[in-house]
Structure 1
Amino acid sequence: MAPRWFNSLAAAPLALALAIGPAASAQALVPYVYVPRAEELEAAGLGIAQAATRLLRLGQADDAARLAGLTVQLLPNDPRGWVLLAEAQLRSNQIKSAGQSLARAKELDPRNPGIWFAEGSLALRDGQPGQAVGLLETGLRFDGKNPGAHFDLGNAHLLLNNPQAALGSFDRASGLRKDFWEAINNQGLVLYELGRNDDAIRRWRRALEINPKAAEPMLALAAALHSRPGDQKEALEMASQALAIEPNYVLDAYQKEQLWGPRLRSSTRVLLENPAIKAAADRANANATGSSDGEDSGEE
């Protein structure tokens, strides 16, 4: 908690006041208030920011937001505090407040690419992909080597039905970070909708080499393989495993939320109708919540 400063002169007990007598009581008492120096305020603010960051790492976003709010009160002209506050507000689902905090951070540091990226991600989450594209592209002019920003830009282009632009952004993201399996997975999503099945299959296999337990490329790959007679056994085994890892992928609405196109969703629907995985599909339907964790939709 932020330090609180009180008057250092406490009120004297009644018995002491009576013992002093009339002469002393006529003297004026001037309370002394300690006013911290600027360096002390800065140190306190940074200490609170560190505590807020630790709480964020522990998943305590509400408490982190409260501490970050104290940070910006102590250091109102430090954009880092406003960015931290915005992140805590985002994670605690205070979307409007997060946007206001980011706007204040950008006023203080308009050339900071991280602020533009955060605003772009917020616009994407708020269902405004067109606005997200402008924000992310501005940030990339300051820092063109941010893989997360390229990934978000690809998702924005996907939502705007610009598959070639999306594919280019995902390619750049995975080129900048070789283990970025989410970007490789999303390349597969685009390629499959473009009818480039073999290329999509290669991307999903590559994503699973990086993360063998990733449910999304596992089920997408299973759907693509299911139409090939020689690959059906592998497809059915893979689909059952994917649904056990993440039951929500049994839901068409969840697939759409994760930016699966109509062609892939149709192939998945055919796969899930196969009697051989009826038990796995039924279990997934029973366990599905329909809530997105943002795994592969660009909310990094």
Structure 2
Amino acid sequence: MLRRIRFSRTLAVALLILGGWFGAPAANALIPYVYLPTEEELKGSSIGIGRTAAQLLQLGQAKDAARLAALAVRLNPNDERFWSILAEAQLRNNDLKDASRSLARAKQLNPEKAGLWFAEAAIALRAERPDDAVPLIARGLQLDPNNAAAYFDLGNARIMQDELPRALESFEKATALKPEFWEALNNQALVLYELGQRQEAVRRWRRVLKLEANPEPMLALAAALHQLGEHTEAIQLASTALAKNPNYVLPLHQAEQLWGRRIREATAQLLSEPELTNSVERAQANATWKKSQ
């Protein structure tokens, strides 16, 4: 972990002339002088500060990043990059209103930057406003049509709108652009299961687990296999998944991850099996999930 960076006030903003208070100075009196940086120097400082804020974001230190990004935009308010970094930091701190304002300012400065439209859509999705997110993503894709992550977000928005065939189409576009995008492949399987295509969902979850041994597709696959009568494998997968991430024992967490009604019901049936009693109780005791704000 990086030690928290603290910045003291090093830039003086006022020059006190003693004569202003005590009358005219003597001819040989020393007049105090404070160096005032130029506008170009302030802009140069903002670049270093903004770069540090971005690095802190990569390290997961969103609060420190937000403070530094706020300083960067004060030093150079006409650079949309700093507003973007500030918005991302605010978003990670669940400060959605300020993040929206920062993004609005960034878009004023550079409306042709696709990432700003995608970021605004991410805020709308976080606030569970898919109807607002879809046109924002669509506009971003006009500027950056090969963005796999944007198609993933579009698929999530379509799930929230209960437009499952269109969600599937978006997730498949994401994996066409990025074949190892396991999250998009996982969501394809979730959609397919809700559409009644269980066997195909199982095939795609198995492909996911070859890419990433993640507990979400692992538990979903276990639930689907349990419905298909594959009892032994289902129990083994479920036990491993709950040990990896106990939060998936909670239906509310499953719903937040956009699991549909059918897969949640299948999971509930699986988790009621006596062989999983200990795993379920342990997961319930260790779950740390809190609903995203």
- Give the TM-score of the pair, scaled to structure 1: 0.88
Give the corresponding residue for 1:124.
125
1:59 to partner: Cα distance: 1.8
Counterpart in the other structure of 1:173: 174
Q: Does 1:4 align with 2:10?
A: yes
2:249 paired residue number = 250
Instruction: State the distance in 2 between where 1:217 and 1:235 align.
Output: 12
Q: Is residue 220 of structure 1 aligned with residue 220 of structure 2?
A: yes
Q: Deviation per CA, 1:185-235, whole angstroms, max 9, x where unpaired?
A: 0000000000001110111111110002x0110000000000223x21001
Assess if the C-alpha contact under 8 Å between 1:150 and 1:173 holds in 2.
yes
On the 8 A contact 1:248/1:290 being kept in 2, the answer is yes
Q: Give distance in 2, aligned partners of 1:204 and 1:2.
A: 52
List alignment gaps of at least 5 residues for structure 1. Answer: 13-22, 295-300
TM alignment of 1:117-266, pairs within 5 A: 117-212=118-213, 214-229=214-229, 231-266=230-265
Q: Which amino acid aligns with 2:139?
A: T
Please list the CA deviations of residues 238-258 of structure 1 after superposition, one character each: whole Å capped at 9, or x if unmatched.
000000011111111111111
- Unpaired stretches in structure 2, ≥5 consecutive residues: 1-6, 19-23
For residues 235 and 141 of structure 2, the distance between their equivalents in structure 1, rounded to whole angstroms, comes to 41
Deviation at 1:31, TM superposition (A): 4.4
Give the 3 Å change call, closer, same or farther, for CA 32–11 of structure 1 in structure 2: closer
**Structure 1, 243-252 or 48-57: larger mean CA deviation:** 48-57
Q: Letter of the aligned partner of 2:113 in structure 1? A: N
Which amino acid in 2 is paired with 1:236?
Answer: I
| In structure 2, C-alpha distance between the alignment counterparts of 1:264 and 1:184, rounded to whole Å | 16
Residue 57 (structure 1) shift: 2.0
Residue 38 of structure 1 and its aligned partner are, at CA, apart by 3.1
What is the CA–CA distance in structure 2 between the aligned matches of 1:8 and 1:72, rounded to whole Å?
Answer: 21
- 1:85/1:98 contact within 8 Å kept: yes
SS at 2:11's partner residue? Answer: coil
Asked if structure 2 preserves the Cα contact closer than 8 Å seen for 1:69 and 1:85, the reply is yes
List aligned pairs for 1:94-113, cutoff 5 A.
Answer: 94-113=95-114
2:180 partner SS: coil
- Specify the alignment match of 1:78 in structure 2: 79
Show the counterpart of 2:3: none
Give the superposition deviation at 1:5: 2.7
Letter in 2 for 1:224: A
Contact 2:246 2:287 in 1 (8 A): yes
Higher Rg: 1
- Structure 1, residues 21-52: CA drift from partner, whole Å, max 9, x if none? xx974667654443323331221000001111
Q: Which amino acid aligns with 2:219?
A: L
CA distance 1:265–1:142, change in 2 (3 Å): same
When residues 45 and 2 of structure 1 are mapped into structure 2, their CA distance, relative to the original with a 3 A threshold, is farther
| One-letter identity of the residue aligned with 2:224 | A
Number of aligned positions between the proteins: 282
| TM-score normalised according to structure 2 size | 0.90
What is the Cα deviation at residue 271 of structure 1? 0.4
**Identity level (%):** 51
Provide the rounded CA distance (Å) in 1 between the counterparts of 2:118 and 2:239. 37
Following TM superposition, the consecutive aligned residue runs of length 4 or more in structure 1 with deviations greater than 2 angstroms are 1-12, 23-39, 289-294
